[in-house]
Structure 1
């Protein structure tokens, strides 16, 4: 009987020693990253001037010139950050319902094409309704940063995959991703897709 008791105690000691060794290894292990840490550090941008086109149309501007000016405004909204713009529509663009045209807005040297369809008269004879859809989106690094910091007061910085100052991209999800890093926290690779809409950048 005495021999059996000694054997049992020795076995218990061995198990306890093994367990202690396992716990020490767990404490020393680093948290596993959810994804790769992205290389570009994006910080809060300086205040942006108002998102207004570079020049207003003259009092005697044509219908085409007024449409082009409004599309400059829409392009700035999509970019989310101030920049130099110019716009042009075909000179023969009129206010006849059903008319279609392609207008082009240049933002900081990048050309965004808009498909325009003229609608019916609005609430006044001087008001003409129209629809305009961009053929491609425009993403700006500062526009995205402005969105991120505007939505999250606790944000310290973001890590992204080398977003240019401004770039043409398809509407919707892009190849760019970012991780939002809160103050006092470390990044861990939770990288979210950057999306572009005609009303500005989004991340989710």
Structure 2
């Protein structure tokens, strides 16, 4: 609900801007800097939770497509982090100088590491270590609301499909017993239903 409120006010503000000026800016300015403001992210495939200011990117508009690249970092908690580097393309159409629906496809590399202590003074204590590294494809459906000559807000829904190599180590700190596993896994999930990005056009 909160991202809908943000987008509503963005379109309200945009109504006072010059339509001709915006149209000219969108056609002439090829570069954009993007910031991932907020995302309703499915962290564990079962719980939707918001994350904030978790990515930056750049877009360059060519004659037929928009090229896009970026970096994202998520910290689920202090010792559980995920990093992505992504690159892809985007195609959209401009409607009434204000609204631009688009589709995007990106390839990305992902690295995730967690190191969690489970200390228990009445029973055994454990240390869980897990590392994932792999590649994936990201498919996005979005809509961009043009606020002014230089600023836009966009909302995206994203579908991910990734393949990673997983290494897992479980250490019983009380007895010293160590259990290790490794293997490959494939994930497919709707990661975000409401990703809000700030986009700034560069002159």
Fold match by TM threshold 0.5: no
Name the structure with the higher helix share: 1
Q: TM-score range by the shorter chain?
A: 0.3 to 0.5
TM-score norm. by structure 2 comes to 0.35
Larger radius of gyration: 1
Bigger share in strand: 2
**TM-score of the superposition, structure 1-length normalised?**
0.35
